[in-house]
């Protein structure tokens, strides 16, 4: 049985009280500013501004500095609730002017969450009306170390947002991580390069306005470890300069031109020793590119590649001595030598992701279990499973999947596949199964009889036409560490009445179990 919810810490209880304070003050400000007539609109604006400033000072003045980020998060969550509540109670009989006034007050309450000593903030988590306020006041958050601006406007209002971003980043001397997709420009990166020299992570994915003109600016950020330029206008030559000149660079994200970048560097006089690159993610590499990778980037630990006829033999990857994470797309397990590659390098792998890989049968799973004894994460996504086997389970020399902690299987597989996989992963913590795995009560009963999954924390099964409350009862009995049991709404064997009763039981018994649907893959 999953454990009981522990009493909240004093810190958590205090944060909940802050939420109530913000809600109460928000409703008071709405009444005093939006619902109460003033002599002039300027008087209402002054009253609103002073009220928000007093609330901001009261909150941040009575909370330790190391909780400022958490305080800001609570305030933003509460403002979001107020926005949803204000919209929900919109009455068409109410004058539109009053509704607009109320919405203006609630949105402006976003200002309460802003402070110069914030260390981290994520704009992408909030609705656009709140993001606009955050953008306009970015210049006040001078102490930021981590700034996630998300996708900005999606590329629709780049010129408008640029001014706000420039006014902010020009003062962020301590920034170590910046994310701005779609809306980043050469001008912004010029300011970043001049003022944010401590930067270690930069993500400007899909920003077409970023070109080779930004390369000199980026070279001022010598501590960069992660530089994501996918779908920008940076050319192979620009990439080559960055890779050759940034000594700490470990991750270029997805870079389909990577092989050509290595060719450009190798053909010039710029290559002066192996690079420190740790991650390769590309969908356009050849066998010759992989040999260049081994020579020029011998410290790579993570490889994610798309296989086609230009890669003659995947065994080339076995020369990467530090390879621990492998993702292969669009290939055959036996015909394309995945089996032989795992036989050589599998003892080092802790993460294996096979996507659109064919020829997966019980034999393939057995080989994975034997060749990859320390595997912790396994993903099988849209693979073609075949229902036949010739190997005997009794001849296994290594106990299968003993270190496996996370399994994601989104594929049409046979009962034997699931039984073998789930029955042997005794240290499993996370399981996610797609809608076509065919999982049902009978399989779960067999699995749990052999492997009670004492360490299981999360189970997400998107759909099943044969899972019922019988499986839920077994999970509740065996899995004492279970904290998330998701997508029960899509288990055909569970009625709405049974699910409602289960929710009530969890609440009444104070069980620490989250059964809210997520539908996230």
Q: How does pLDDT run across 220-266, given as a tens digit for each residue?
A: 999 999 999 999 999 999 999 999 999 999 999 999 999 999 999 99
Q: How far apart are CA 112 and CA 63, in angstroms?
A: 14
| Least-confidence region, from 60-74, 170-184, 232-246, 378-392 | 378-392
Examine the pLDDT at 3 and tell me if it is beyond 60: yes
- The share of the chain scoring above pLDDT 70, in percent, equals 95
Q: Enter the tokens of residue 267.
A: 């053909």
Examine the pLDDT at 75 and tell me if it is beyond 60: yes
In which residue are the tokens 């044969």 written? 466
Give the per-residue pLDDT at 35. 67
Mean pLDDT, the chain, rounded, equals 92
Domains delineated in the chain? 1-113 (no CATH), 116-234 (3.80.10.10)
Examine the pLDDT at 68 and tell me if it is beyond 90: yes
Examine the pLDDT at 111 and tell me if it is beyond 90: yes
Examine the pLDDT at 204 and tell me if it is beyond 80: yes
Which of 230, 268, 277, 273 is closest to 250 using CA atoms?
A: 277
Average pLDDT over residues 479-496: 95
**Beta-strand pair 464-468/430-433:** unpaired
Q: How does pLDDT run across 113-165, given as a tens digit for each residue?
A: 999 999 999 999 999 999 999 999 999 999 999 999 988 776 667 677 899 99
Examine the pLDDT at 180 and tell me if it is beyond 50: yes
CB 112 within 8 A of CB 79: yes
Give the per-residue pLDDT at 353. 98
Residue 31: DSSP 8-state: I
Instruction: Band the pLDDT of 521: cuts 50, 70, 90.
Output: very low
Compare 349 and 416 and report the one with higher pLDDT: 349
Residue 33: DSSP 8-state: I
CB 370 within 8 A of CB 398: yes
CB 377 within 8 A of CB 350: yes
Q: Enter the tokens of residue 24.
A: 């109460």
Tell me the C-alpha to C-alpha distance, in Å, between residue 188 and each of 88, 154, 167, 169: 38, 16, 10, 8
Instruction: Band the pLDDT of 31: cuts 50, 70, 90.
Output: confident
Cα 48 versus chain centre, distance: 37
């Amino acid at each position: 049985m999953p454990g009981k919810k522990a009493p909240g810490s004093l810190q958590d209880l205090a944060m909940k009280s802050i939420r109530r304070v913000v809600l109460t003050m928000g409703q008071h400000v709405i009444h005093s500013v939006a619902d109460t007539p003033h002599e002039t609109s300027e008087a209402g604006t002054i009253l609103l501004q002073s009220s928000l400033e007093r609330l901001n000072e009261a909150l941040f003045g009575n909370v330790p500095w190391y909780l400022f980020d958490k305080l800001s998060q609570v305030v933003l969550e509460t403002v979001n609730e107020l926005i949803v509540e204000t919209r929900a109670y919109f009455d068409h009989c109410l004058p539109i002017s009053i509704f607009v006034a109320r919405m203006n007050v609630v949105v402006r309450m976003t200002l309460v969450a802003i402070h110069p000593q914030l260390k981290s903030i994520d704009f992408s988590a909030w609705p656009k009306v709140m993001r606009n306020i955050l953008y306009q006041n970015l210049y006040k958050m001078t102490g930021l170390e981590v700034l996630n601006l998300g996708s900005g406007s999606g590329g629709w209002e780049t010129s408008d947002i640029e001014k706000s971003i420039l006014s902010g980043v020009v003062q962020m001397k301590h920034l170590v991580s910046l994310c701005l997709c779609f809306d980043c420009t050469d001008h912004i990166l010029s300011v970043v390069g001049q003022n944010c020299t401590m930067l270690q992570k930069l993500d400007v994915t899909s920003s077409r306005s970023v070109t080779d003109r930004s390369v000199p600016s980026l070279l001022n950020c010598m501590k960069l470890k992660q530089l994501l330029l996918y779908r920008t206008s940076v050319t192979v030559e620009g990439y080559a300069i960055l890779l050759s000149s940034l000594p700490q660079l470990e991750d270029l994200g997805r870079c389909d031109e990577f092989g050509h970048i290595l060719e450009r560097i190798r053909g010039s006089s710029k290559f002066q020793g192996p690079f420190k690159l740790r991650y390769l993610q590309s969908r356009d590499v050849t066998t010759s590119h992989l040999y260049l990778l081994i020579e020029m980037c011998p410290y790579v630990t993570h490889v994610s590649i798309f296989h086609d006829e230009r890669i003659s033999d995947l065994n080339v990857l076995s020369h990467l001595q530090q390879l621990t994470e492998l993702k292969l797309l669009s290939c055959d397990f036996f015909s394309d030598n995945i089996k032989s590659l795992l036989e050589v390098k599998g003892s080092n792998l802790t993460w294996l992701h096979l996507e659109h890989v064919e020829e997966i049968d019980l034999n393939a799973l057995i080989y994975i279990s034997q060749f990859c004894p320390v595997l912790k994460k396994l993903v099988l996504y849209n693979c073609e499973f075949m229902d036949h086997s010739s190997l005997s389970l009794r001849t296994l020399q290594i106990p299968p999947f003993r270190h496996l902690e996370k399994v994601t299987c989104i594929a049409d597989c046979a009962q034997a596949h699931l039984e073998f996989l789930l029955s042997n992963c005794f240290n499993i913590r996370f399981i996610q199964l797609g809608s076509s795995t065919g999982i049902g009560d009978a399989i779960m009963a067999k699995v749990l009889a052999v492997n009670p999954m004492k360490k299981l924390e999360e189970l997400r099964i998107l759909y099943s036409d044969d899972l019922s409350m019988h499986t839920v009862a077994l999970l509740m009995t065996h899995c004492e560490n279970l904290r998330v049991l998701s997508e029960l709404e899509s288990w055909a064997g569970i009625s709405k009445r049974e699910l409602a009763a289960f929710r009530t039981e969890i609440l009444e018994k104070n069980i620490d179990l989250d059964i809210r649907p997520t539908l996230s893959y």
